[in-house]
Structure 1
């Protein structure tokens, strides 16, 4: 099916990151904390930027004290604190993310997660990256923080972050450029177990 620009919707779908977060939680119940979820989403984004030449989600990703964070996802799951997230969350979505069966509440729609929120072709790499990261870092989630802190896109603004700078955003270009080098492709594989 073609969209208004003539692009194949299936191959170019851009999601709300909260839908991808729900998918990751659903595949790994009681295994992923909000901190780990943020880092998994970081590597998912990098995979799709470098390997597929596309952005997988529309939400902004910021450079926080503990590395990359998608504020929309963080706030959706922050009630878990540092504990593992046990189930996908119902989400308030606007009309563009509405699906049949969602209830309208105060001008928004309450969306209950289903696995079909993520296209089948996109599910496999998300699952593989999640499982690779969890197999290596489940017992040491701050190892993921150290890994993301060693990346130039975060490292280059670390002094600003330590002085309290906020809303510093990752750009697709800086992530794609950084992870396109052979050295950083290897680093990606060492962290996720998955090649880009």
Structure 2
């Protein structure tokens, strides 16, 4: 369970927590029942793309939790722990995190985190609008393409039994390159 206490990653302030971002996606999914449901795989991949694009566009992590390379793609372990009970079914409950409430060693409580910053909510909405029509399997397949962070880690380790971490710097570099390539293609088309 993630503990909501730290606000920086590599010295930079993070916008939120993985559970808060997941809850935002779940809320958006409830508002659009015609979109494919959000099962645990789709939720993990939505989190990955939101985090990756946030790193590339804003030079900061969207949340502090790390992604690990699991056989079916990038996974935030805590989110998996909270959603595995759903299997292939839609995730129907909001996720929780442990939050520090005071200075005492036992001053913690479970909370349902939400996104409070308007810009962060808008950013997540943009990611949702691009990816909502895809299933978890389709999004997972796209994370397995050549040159993607998960694929690079899989190729490096060969075996993902240890569920190695996917470094944020690798994710950021790859997604920044996507932006550069898109800008170059746009300039060439003009």
- Matches for 1:144-159 after TM superposition, within 5 Å: 144-150=139-145, 151-159=147-155
CA contact (8 A) 1:64 1:161 kept: no
User: Which runs of no fewer than 5 residues in structure 1 stay unpaired?
Assistant: 1-6, 100-105, 187-196
Residue pairs, 1:1-196, within 5 angstroms = 12-29=13-30, 31-89=37-95, 91-95=96-100, 98=101, 107-113=107-113, 115=114, 117-135=115-133, 137-138=134-135, 141-150=136-145, 151-159=147-155, 163-182=159-178, 186=182
Q: Note the C-alpha offset of 1:19.
A: 1.2
CA distance in 1, matches of 2:130, 2:167: 25
The one-character-per-residue Cα deviations of 1:65-115 (angstroms, maximum 9, x if unpaired) are 0110000111111111111112313x24131xx59xxxxxx75312134x4
Cα RMSD for the two superposed structures? 2.7
Unaligned runs of 5+ in 2: 1-7, 183-190
Rounded Cα–Cα distance in structure 1 between residues aligned with 2:13 and 2:179: 28
- In the alignment, the residues of structure 2 paired with residue 155 and residue 45 of structure 1 have an alpha-carbon distance, to the nearest angstrom, of 17
Higher relative contact order structure (alpha carbons within 8 Å, sequence separation ≥ 6)? 2
Q: Aligned partners of 2:59 and 2:160: how far apart in 1?
A: 33
- Secondary structure at 1:28 match in 2: helix
- Give aligned pairs, total: 163
Alignment check: 8 A CA contact 1:63 1:167 kept: yes
TM-score after normalising by structure 2: 0.74
Query: In structure 2, do the counterparts of structure 1 residues 165 and 159 end up closer, same or farther at CA, with 3 Å as the change threshold?
Result: farther
Counterpart secondary structure, 1:181: helix
Residues 13, 156 of structure 1: alpha-carbon distance in 2 compared, 3 angstrom cutoff: closer
